[in-house]
Amino acid sequence: MANILLKNAVMMDGSKNYDLYIENGRISKKGHGLTDSAENTMDLQGRLVIPGFVESHLHLDIALMNPWDRPGRPASFRSPVELNNALEERRKHFTREDIEQRAGLGIEMASRHGVTAIRAQCHVDREVGLKHVEALLNVREKYRDRVTLQIVTFPQQGLLNQPEMEKMLREAFKMGVDVMGSASNLDPYVSTPADANKYNDVAYEIAMDAGVDLDVHADLGIPKHIDFEELEVVHVARRAVEFGYQGRVTAGHVCALDSAEPDVAKRAIDLISEAGVSVVSQPDMYRLGREDQRSIRRGLTRVKQLLEAGVNVTFASNNIRDALRPMGNFDLLEEGLVLAYGAHMDSVAELEMLMRMCTINAAKALRLEDYGLDVGDQADLVVLDAVSPSAALVGQVEKLYVFKHGKLVAANWRKNEIY
C-alpha cells in the first residue's frame, strides 16, 4: 500500500498548514512541516480535510428504483400510507440481482461524494424472506475497499405475533447482519403507544440475544399534541438504561418530539441524553404535514434542542430516488444544507456543527472504531475544495479527493469560483 503525504491541510477546527502522513491505511503522523518520504505527496494548498462522511440511515436496498431520465413522481403525493403501499407493490418484483445492481451503483455514487461508511436498512419479512439481506451482503463484500457497510434488519411487515419473523431475523444475524432494526409504525398489530412499547421490547430482546446494537424508527408521525408517555423514544430510552444498552441505540426520525409541549420535550430530551441514545434526523421535509392548511409542519425533530442537551445527533439521506422519496444524490453536503434551512442553523458555529453531525457524530452512532483525524485513525478522509466547514456547506463544494483505508478511491474536479 502506497505511503501518502498530505501537505498544507486545514483541519475541521480551523487549524491551518497541517500535514498528514498516511501509511498502511492509517494516519501515522500529523503535524507541521513533515518531510517524510512518500510515494505520493499532495499539496492541498489550504483546503479542508475531514474524516469520511458517514451515512447513518439509508434504505439502500430500495434506492434508485425510479427512472433516471425523468425523476419525480408519476402523480402528486397524497399520503404516507399510499407511498408505502406503492413500495410494497413494486418491491415484489425485485430480484437479488436487481437489488445488488442498484445498491452497488448507490455505493459508487456515495463514494464519489465522500461517504466512507453507510448504515443500510434492509427489508426482512415473510414476503421477501432474506433475499435483500443476501444481496446487501454480496454488495458489502464487493465494495469493502470503498465503503464500510453496516446492515440493519428492517422488519417491513412487523414483529408482533409473528414468531417466524424472529426466527428469520436470528438467521440474518448468523449470516452477518450487524444491527437489529425496528419500525413499529409498520406493524399491523400496533395501534396504541402501549403496542409500540411492546414491539420495541421484542426488538430489544432479539438485539440483546444476538449481541447487536438496536436502530429504531421512532415517532414518525406529527400529531397535533403528544404526551410524555406517548412518545416512543421515551420508552426506548428507558429500556436502554434498564438493559445497559446506553450508547448502543439509535433512534431515527423522532418527528413527534416537535409536537410535544416545550416542558414535555425537555423531559424527553433529558432522558434521551441520559440513555446515550443517538438521534438521526432525516431532512426530507416534504412527506409530513401535507394535510396542514396553515402553519404547515415539516416533521423535523428538535435538532438544536437535542444538541444543546448533549445528545449525539446526526442526519442522513433516508430514501433516495425510490417510491418514498424521488430526490437525493447520496450527498451529505446537500442533505446538510437542506437541514440548515429546516432547522434554522445559520451561524458559523451551527454550520460547523452540521459538518460534525455527518462525520464525527454519525461515526459515534455507528460505533466506528479508529475514526477521525488523529494519529492511529483509519485514513478514511475527504479533501473538500473549501477553507472551512461552513464554506463547504454553503458553497456545496467539490469533494476533490476521497480516501478509504489510505487508498484514493475517488478524485473529482469542478471549478470553484470563490477559492
Which domains are delineated in the chain?
4-51+372-411 (2.30.40.10), 53-366 (3.20.20.140)
Query: What is the per-residue pLDDT for 289?
Result: 67
The rounded distance, in Å, linking the Cα atoms of 70 and 263 is 46
What pLDDT does 402 receive? 98
Burial (CB count <10 Å: 0-12, 13-18, 19+), residue 181? buried
pLDDT digits (tens, 9 = 90+) for 164-209: 898 999 999 999 999 999 999 999 999 999 999 999 999 999 999 9
| Helix 163-175 / helix 131-142 crossing angle, nearest 10 deg | 20
Over residues 314-333, the pLDDT tens digits come to 999 999 998 888 999 999 99
What's residue 202's pLDDT? 95
| Confidence (pLDDT) at 419 | 44
List 313's β-bridge partners, or say none: 279
The beta-strand segments (E) located in 114-162 are 115-124, 148-155
pLDDT tens readout for residues 359-404: 999 999 999 999 999 999 999 999 999 999 999 999 999 999 999 9
pTM for the whole thing? Answer: 0.95
If you average pLDDT over every residue of the chain, what do you get?
93
| pLDDT computed for residue 416 by the predictor | 59
- Supply 209's cell numbers: 440475544
Bridge partners of residue 31, in order along the sequence: 19
Q: What is the DSSP string of 301-347?
A: --HHHHHHTT--EEE--B--SSSS-S---S-HHHHHHHHHHHTT--S
CA neighbor of 253 nearest in space, from 341, 199, 183: 183
pLDDT at 75 over 60: yes
C-alpha cell at 44: 492541498
Q: What is the pLDDT of residues 242-266, one digit of tens each?
A: 999 999 999 999 999 999 999 999 9
CA dihedral 392, 394, 116, 367 (to 10 degrees): 110
Residues 6+ apart with CB under 8 A from 80: 287, 288
Q: Greatest CA separation found in the chain? A: 65
- Strand 148-155 versus strand 115-124 pairing type: parallel
User: Looking at the predicted structure, is the pLDDT value of residue 156 above 90?
Assistant: no
